[in-house]
Amino acid sequence: MEKVIRASGHENVSAEHSSTFELTSDDWLTPAGDCILGVEADTVPADFDDAFVEACQSHEATITATLRVGDETQVIEGHGHPELTFESDRSLVGRTSDYVDDRTVMVGASAAAADIDRAIADRLADGADIECRLAVDP
């Protein structure tokens, strides 16, 4: 199962956070949002169908986020968790930790914003669009 989220870069994208990456539906970003890779996301966790959410609610589920900015691609792998709710109507967050809240779409992520290839981060800071393909293998 797969969901596609599209968002836009922003001049304040710094991609410096060491434990999370985020896409938000907000149309603004302050320099403090150092985990945010894109704004104006067209899909939020609350939009995901029940089957996708249920597939992610297992420690055994592998969740993969494939980030594409122009011709640059980065893959981040993580896993599911029984407490994932996908209830946020504002943003989605991938976490290297096991912390879960309503924005969390994966835990145990193999990378955070600080690990994003600098070419991708620079393009996002220049306003490039980002596509995130979120796939789950239950």
What is the per-residue DSSP string for the chain? Answer: -EEEEEEE--TT-----SSEEEEES-S---TT-TTEEEBS-S--GGGS-HHHHHHHSSTT-EEEEEEEETTEEEEEEEE--TT-----SSEEEEESSS---TTEEEBS-S--GGGS-HHHHHHHHTT-EEEEEEEEE-
pLDDT tens column, 71-93: 999 999 999 999 999 999 999 99
- The rounded distance, in Å, linking the Cα atoms of 71 and 53 is 29
pLDDT tens column, 10-49: 999 999 999 999 999 999 999 999 999 999 999 999 999 9
pLDDT tens column, 62-73: 999 999 999 999
**Domains of the chain: which residue ranges?**
2-137
Q: How many CA atoms lie within 13 A of 95 on its CB side?
A: 17
pLDDT tens column, 34-43: 999 999 999 9
pTM assigned to the model: 0.96
Q: Which of 98, 92, 53 is nearest to 78 (CA)?
A: 98
Cβ atoms of 108 and 78 within 8 Å: the answer is yes
* CATH level 3 topology of 2-137: Jelly Rolls (2.60.120)
pLDDT tens column, 101-132: 999 999 999 999 999 999 999 999 999 999 99
